Amino acid sequence: MEGKEEDVRLGANKFSERQPIGTTAQTDKDYNEPPPAPLFEHGELYSWSFWRAGIAEFVATFLFLYITVLTVMGVNRAPSKCASVGIQGIAWAFGGMIFALVYCTAGISGGHINPAVTFGLLLARKLSLTRAIFYMVMQCLGAICGAGVVKGFQPSRYEVLGGGANVVNHGYTKGDGLGAEIVGTFVLVYTVFSATDAKRNARDSHVPILAPLPIGFAVFLVHLATIPITGTGINPARSLGAAIIYNRDHAWNDHWIFWVGPFIGAALAALYHQIVIRAIPFKSRA
């Protein structure tokens, strides 16, 4: 018995209690910080992968608006929330589509499908300004086409049911709407940074595979929280596409909120992740 007790004691003390975990377990031997993307990269304009990525963003945003606006139309058309999928169904439509589309396009364009996400990644120097502008243009065009197809299916009902356009709902101020958009986009973009962190990908092989899931789930949760306030924008392309096709004064009155709010939220998320979580500026000084 004494021999067995000695083996147990040695086994328990074989490894120190304080093993490095998380990002501290990473060393320079197995990970190198990727260099920041150049501000302008003229060479990529002559690359098919650049144009293919833009087309992927267009198609993904088109499909995103098509499915989600149709869902909103179905809920608004129902005589009561209980006779439709309700707010929860709308939230699932938005979150589920982001999950599916990010999974499909992540390897081609990064699966942004949102100018706010593109803006946040631009601030973090994850892509060039040239590519960011191209993505935003293609996302907005895709959103306009997606909402346009929905209106083509049911033009009269589209006008009556609000066209899925984002507005600040009754009982809330413009400040309330702006705050909801800032915080909601912060949640989304912060999740995008965390789910696609290159250092985590190098350490945990399962992270890239699971990345679309937390991103889609973040979209779902934000919609549950903010649909009663603004209908939930957190995506300027989504808001622009619906507003252009619906084209009513009250849809344009608050439209600035759905650009300013998401861009502020994306900028805050990028700064928080890069400076606080990753401490990249401090590493560069070392």
pLDDT tens digits along 118-145: 999 999 999 999 999 999 999 999 999 9
Is residue 236 domain-resident? yes
Is residue 3 domain-resident? no
Given a contact cutoff of 8 angstroms between Cβ atoms, the answer to whether 243 and 252 are in contact is yes
Q: Categorize the per-residue pLDDT at 32 as very low, low, confident or very high, splitting at 50, 70 and 90.
A: low
Q: Mean pLDDT, to the nearest integer, of 217-226?
A: 97
Using DSSP, state whether 232 is helix, strand or coil.
Answer: coil
Is residue 51 domain-resident? yes
The string of DSSP codes covering 125-179 is TSS-HHHHHHHHHHHHHHHHHHHHHHHHH-HHHHHHTTTT---PPTT--HHHHHH
Is residue 20 domain-resident? no
Tens-digit pLDDT profile for residues 160-203: 888 999 999 999 999 999 999 999 999 999 999 999 887 766 56
Is residue 211 domain-resident? yes
Query: CA angle 144-150-152, nearest 5°?
Result: 100
Distance CA 266, CA 187 (A): 9
pLDDT of residue 219: 98
pLDDT of residue 277: 86
Residue 13 has pLDDT above 50, yes or no: no
More confident residue, 12 or 44: 44
From 112, 105, 148, 103, select the one nearest 133 (Cα to Cα): 112
Residue 216 has pLDDT above 60, yes or no: yes
Tens-digit pLDDT profile for residues 235-274: 999 999 999 999 999 889 999 999 999 999 999 999 999 8
pLDDT of residue 131: 96
From 224, 249, 248, 244, select the one nearest 234 (Cα to Cα): 224
pLDDT of residue 25: 45
CATH of the domain at 197: 1.20.1080.10
Tens-digit pLDDT profile for residues 62-111: 999 999 999 999 888 776 666 678 899 999 999 999 999 999 999 999 99
Is residue 24 domain-resident? no
Residue 19 has pLDDT above 70, yes or no: no
| Farthest-apart Cα atoms in the chain, separation | 87
pLDDT of residue 2: 53
Is residue 25 domain-resident? no
Q: Which residue has the tokens 């364009």?
A: 109
User: Phi/psi of residue 111, each to 5°?
Assistant: 65, 50
Is residue 22 domain-resident? no
Distance CA 32, CA 47 (A): 26
Domain residues for the domain of 242 are: 44-276
Residue 266, CA atoms < 13 Å, CB-side half-sphere:
23
Tens-digit pLDDT profile for residues 35-66: 888 888 888 888 999 999 999 999 999 999 99
Q: Mean pLDDT, to the nearest integer, of 155-161?
A: 85
Total domain count, the chain: 1
pLDDT of residue 6: 52
pLDDT of residue 209: 66
pLDDT of residue 26: 45
